[in-house]
Structure 1
Amino acid sequence: MITFLENRVIPVLIRVGENKILVAVRNGIALTLPFTITGSLFLILANLPIPGWTDWLGPYAEKLSAPVAVTFGAIGLISAIGISYNLAKEYSLNALTCAIVTMVVFLLAQLNDKYQLNVDNLGAAGLFSAIILSILTVQIVRFFIHHNVVIKLPDGVPPAVAQSFASLIPAAVAITLIWFVRVILNFDINNFFTLILSPLVTGLGSLPGMLVLIFLISLLWCCGIHGDNVLSGITAPIFLKYIAENTQAYLHHQPIPHITADGFYIVFMCLGGTGATLGLVMAMMRSRSKLYKSVGKLSLPSAIFCINEPVIFGCPIVFNPLLMIPFTLTPMILCISTYALMYFDIIGRPVLQIPWTMPPIFAAWFVTGGNIPAVIWSVCTIAISALVWLPFFKLAERKQLETEAAEEHSRREAEKLPDPIL
C-alpha cells in the first residue's frame, strides 16, 4: 500500500502542488490576509459579546465597522493584483506591469449593464474571476514578450519609459479582449467563472468534501510532504470566499451561510497542527520513553501555536504505519462532530479571519465572534484528540521502551556494567 502511494498517488499530488499557477494563486491569496485580519479586528471591537456594548458605542459602532466593508469588500481586487504579481515572477516577467494590467482588466470585467463599476464584485463575489483573469492576463503578456511582439525604444530612453511602451501591446490586447466580451457581447464574466467553479465550491462546502480534503492532506504529510501547502492553491480561494460572505452576514446580523469557511479546519481540526497532534504531544510529555518525553517537551511550545513539524519528523509520524492511523482519524472525527454541531447551530460558525497560529480555545472565541459554546467545544476537541491518540501512542511507546532497554543492555554489556535492578 505504501509503495503504491509513493509511486502512484504522491507524485501526482506533488506535481499539482508545484504547479506554477497554483503556487501563484496560493501566494496571491495570502496577500489578502493582513487586510482581512485587520478588518476582523475592527469587527470584533464593534461587536464585542458584552451586554450593552453596541448601545454604549452608539454611532461609533457603525464607524468601527467601516474598515470591514473596505478590507473584505476588496479581496477580489487584492487577489487579482497578488496572483498576477506572483505568477509574473514565476515566469520572470515584469511583475508590477502585469499586476497593474490585471487590475485594469479585472475592473473592466466588473462593469454592470450600464457600464458602471459594480463595487460589490470587488470582494468575495469577484474572487473567482480575479483568479482566472489574473492567469489569463499574465499569459497574454507572456505570449507577446516570448514572441518579441513589443514596442522597443532606443537605448537612451529611461528604463521606466521603455518598460511602459514594451507593455503597451499586451496591455492593449488584454483590455480590448475583456472589453469586447463584457461590453460588446454583454457577457457576464464574473457569473460565468463562478458557475464553472461551483462544483468545487459545493464540494468543499460539504462534509464529504472536507473529509476527502483532510484525508489527502494527512496522506501527504505522512509521506513527508507539506499537505496543507500542496492543496492550498485549490482550497484557499474557496475558504476565503466563504469567510468573506460569513463576515458580511455577521456584520449585517444575518444568518451565517457557510460552515466550512476559513477557520473551520485550522481552528477545530488542527489542534497543535495538522492531525490534531496536541493530544500526542500531551501523551509524550508523560511518557516513560526518554525519546518521546524529550520530543514532547521540545514540541509543546510550537504545538501551542499549531506548528507540529517537530512532532511529525521527530516522533516520527512520517512513514509510521501505526501513527498514520490516528494522524488521519483524529481530524476526521473532529470534522464530523464539529460540522454537525455547526449544522444544528449548537456552536457558532466561523465569521472572522484569524492568524492560523492562534492557540486553541482563544482561536475558537475569535473565529466565531465570541461564541461561548464554540469555546467549550474547543476544550472538548483537545480531550478528544488526546483520547484518540493515546492507545496508538501506548503501542508505539511500548515498542520504543523495548528498543531503549535493548540499547541500554548493549551499552552496559560493552562497558561491562551490571543491568539496573528494576
Structure 2
Amino acid sequence: MLAGLEKYVLPVFLKIGENKVLVAIRNGLTLTIPFTIVGSFFLILGNLPIKAWTDFIEPVSGMLNAPVSVTFGVLGLIVAIGIGYNLAIGFGVDPISNTVITTVAFLLATLTEDFTIDPALLDATGMFTAILVAIFTTFVYRFFVVKNITIKMPEGVPPSVSRSFASMMPAATVIGSIWIIHVLLKINLNEILQWIFQPLVFGLSTLPGLMVYTLLACFLWSCGIHGPNVLAGIATPIFLSYLAANTAAFQNGQPIPYEVADGFWILFMSIGGSGGTMGLVLAMLRSKSKLYRSLGKLSFPSAIFCINEPVIFGFPIVMNPLMMIPFIATPMVLGASSYVLMKVGIIGKIVFLVPWTIPPIIGPYLATNGNIPAAIWSVCTIVISYLIYLPFFKIAEKKQLLIELGDNKKITEETVVADH
C-alpha cells in the first residue's frame, strides 16, 4: 500500500501542494501554533472533568479562560495576519503593507450589523473569510505593483514614507471592495457558506446523513475552514434534540431511540480532535524525525483532551492534500463502526452530555451511563486511528527525514569550512 501511494498518489498531491497560494496558506497557518498550544494549556486547566477541581477553581474560572479568549478566540485574526504576510513573500509585494491591509480588510469583513467589531466573529469560524480576504488583498496589491500604478514620492523622501504611499491605492481598492460587499450589500461569507451546505446536511440520525456531515466537516477543516463550527448552526440543534430524546427515554426506562446524539462526534469520531488525529499524534511520538517527534510531544497532552489545533496547523493537516485522506477517512470509519455497534446493541448509546474535553475511554463510559463495552471500543478507536494514519504519516516522515538529513549535512559542511 505504501509503495502504491508513493508511486501514484504522492506525485499528484505534491504538485497540488506546491501551488504558491496553498504553500502561503499553510505557512501562514503555522503562526497559530504557539497561540493554540498556550491556549490549550489554559483550556485544559479550566475544564478538567473532575468535580472537585471545577469546584476549587470556580472563583477564578473566568481568569483561567481569559487567555483562551485571546488565543482560540482570535484564530481568524491570527490567520489573516499570517497568510497575508506569507502571500506577500510568495508574490513579491511589501509584506508589512500587505499584512496590515489584509488585517484591516478582514476586520471590516467581520463587522456586525451595527458596524462594530464583535470578538466572537474573530475566532476559527472566521478563517474562511480570512483566507479569502488575504488572497484578494495580495492579488490586488500585486496587480498595482506589476502595472506600476502607484503614488510616487519625490527623491529624498524616507523609504518608509514612500512605501506607505505606494500601498495607498491597493489599500483603498481592497477596503473599498470589502466595504461594498459586506457593508453596502450586507454579504456575509460565513453565512453564505452555511446556506450552501445546508441542503447537504440531512438525516443526521441516519448513517448516510452522518457520513455526508462528516465528509463536509472534515473536508472544510482540511481546507482551513473550521467545518464543525461552520456546520454547527445547522447540526448542533439537531444533535441536541436527539440527546434530549435519548435522555428522556433513559429516565423513563424506554429503549434509547438515537445512535447519533450530541457528543457522538467528539466521543466516538474525534479521538484526539477533529479528524481522529490521536493516531497521528501517537505515530509522531515514535517518529525518527526530530520535528515530528517534538510536535508529537507538544501535541499529546492537548490531544488527550480532544484539542488538536497544534496538529492541524503544526503538522500541518490544513492544505496538505496527502494528510487530507486519513483526516477524512478516520472519522468516517470510526463513525460508521460506532453507529453499527450501537445499532446492534454491542455498545451503549449516549444518554448523558459530558464535557467535550473529557479524555477517551472515560468520556464514552460516562456518556453511556457506565457502559463498559463503550469504554473498550474507545480503546479500539485509538488503535484504528493509528493504523489509518500510519502509512500516510510514513510518507510525510520519509520526506521530512530527507530535509533534516540535508540540513544536518549543510551544517556539518559549514562547520568544517569554519574550522579551516
Common fold by TM > 0.5: yes
- Offset at 1:67? 2.0
- The Cα offsets for residues 34-93 of structure 1, whole Å up to 9 and x where unpaired, read as 223322221221222223222222321122112222222211111111111111111122
Read off the aligned partner of 1:273 and give its amino acid letter. Answer: A
Equivalent residue, structure 1, for 2:112: 112
RMSD across aligned positions (CA):
5.2
The range that moved more, 93-102 or 1-10, is 1-10
Equivalent residue, structure 2, for 1:238: 226
Distance change >3 Å, CA 66–CA 211, structure 1 → 2: closer
Give distance in 1, aligned partners of 2:197 and 2:162.
39
Equivalent residue, structure 2, for 1:139: 139
- The Cα offsets for residues 186-228 of structure 1, whole Å up to 9 and x where unpaired, read as 333442355457799999x9546868999xxxxxxxxxxxxxx
Gaps of 5+ in 1: 215-230, 282-294, 308-327, 353-361, 390-422
Equivalent residue, structure 2, for 1:78: 78
Equivalent residue, structure 1, for 2:166: 166
Give distance in 1, aligned partners of 2:40 and 2:28.
20
- The Cα offsets for residues 272-317 of structure 1, whole Å up to 9 and x where unpaired, read as 438xx98xx9xxxxxxxxxxxxx9xx9xx8998599xxxxxxxxxx
CA contact (8 A) 1:108 1:178 kept: yes
CA contact (8 A) 1:128 1:194 kept: no
Equivalent residue, structure 2, for 1:129: 129
TM, length-normalised to structure 1 = 0.57
Read off the aligned partner of 2:226 and give its amino acid letter. Answer: I
- Offset at 1:182? 2.0
Task: Report which of the two structures shows the higher radius of gyration computed on alpha carbons.
Answer: 1
The equivalences for 1:281-320 within 5 A come to none
Read off the aligned partner of 2:182 and give its amino acid letter. Answer: R
Give distance in 2, aligned partners of 1:102 and 1:15.
27
CA contact (8 A) 1:364 1:378 kept: yes
CA contact (8 A) 2:84 2:99 kept: yes
- Offset at 1:103? 0.8
Read off the aligned partner of 1:263 and give its amino acid letter. Answer: G
Distance change >3 Å, CA 79–CA 113, structure 1 → 2: same
Equivalent residue, structure 2, for 1:395: none
Give distance in 1, aligned partners of 2:380 and 2:101.
50
Distance change >3 Å, CA 124–CA 381, structure 1 → 2: closer
- Offset at 1:333? 5.3
Equivalent residue, structure 2, for 1:42: 42
- The Cα offsets for residues 381-405 of structure 1, whole Å up to 9 and x where unpaired, read as 566689999xxxxxxxxxxxxxxxx
Give distance in 2, aligned partners of 1:257 and 1:118.
31
Equivalent residue, structure 1, for 2:53: 53
- Offset at 1:167? 0.5
Identity of aligned residues (%): 39
CA contact (8 A) 2:220 2:226 kept: no
| Corresponding pairs, count | 315
- Offset at 1:129? 1.2
- The Cα offsets for residues 99-142 of structure 1, whole Å up to 9 and x where unpaired, read as 11011111111222222223321113322111111111111111
The equivalences for 1:399-410 within 5 A come to none
User: Does the alignment pair 1:273 with 2:303?
Assistant: no
- Offset at 1:165? 0.8
Equivalent residue, structure 2, for 1:149: 149
Equivalent residue, structure 2, for 1:33: 33
Distance change >3 Å, CA 24–CA 53, structure 1 → 2: same
Gaps of 5+ in 2: 238-243, 245-261, 301-327, 390-420
Equivalent residue, structure 1, for 2:184: 184
User: Does the alignment pair 1:263 with 2:273?
Assistant: yes
Distance change >3 Å, CA 70–CA 206, structure 1 → 2: farther
The equivalences for 1:365-384 within 5 A come to 379-381=379-381
CA contact (8 A) 2:39 2:72 kept: yes
- The Cα offsets for residues 347-392 of structure 1, whole Å up to 9 and x where unpaired, read as 999946xxxxxxxxx9858999x99989865644566689999xxx
CA contact (8 A) 1:207 1:339 kept: no
Distance change >3 Å, CA 103–CA 333, structure 1 → 2: closer
Equivalent residue, structure 1, for 2:321: none
Distance change >3 Å, CA 99–CA 349, structure 1 → 2: farther
Read off the aligned partner of 2:225 and give its amino acid letter. Answer: P
- The Cα offsets for residues 137-167 of structure 1, whole Å up to 9 and x where unpaired, read as 1111111111111112234222211111111
- Offset at 1:174? 0.5
Equivalent residue, structure 2, for 1:316: none
Distance change >3 Å, CA 302–CA 109, structure 1 → 2: closer
Distance change >3 Å, CA 3–CA 64, structure 1 → 2: closer
Give distance in 1, aligned partners of 2:174 and 2:74.
22
CA contact (8 A) 1:29 1:237 kept: no
CA contact (8 A) 1:151 1:166 kept: yes
Give distance in 1, aligned partners of 2:362 and 2:38.
13
Higher relative contact order (CA 8 A, sep 6+): 2
Read off the aligned partner of 1:31 and give its amino acid letter. Answer: L
CA contact (8 A) 1:22 1:234 kept: no
Read off the aligned partner of 2:102 and give its amino acid letter. Answer: T
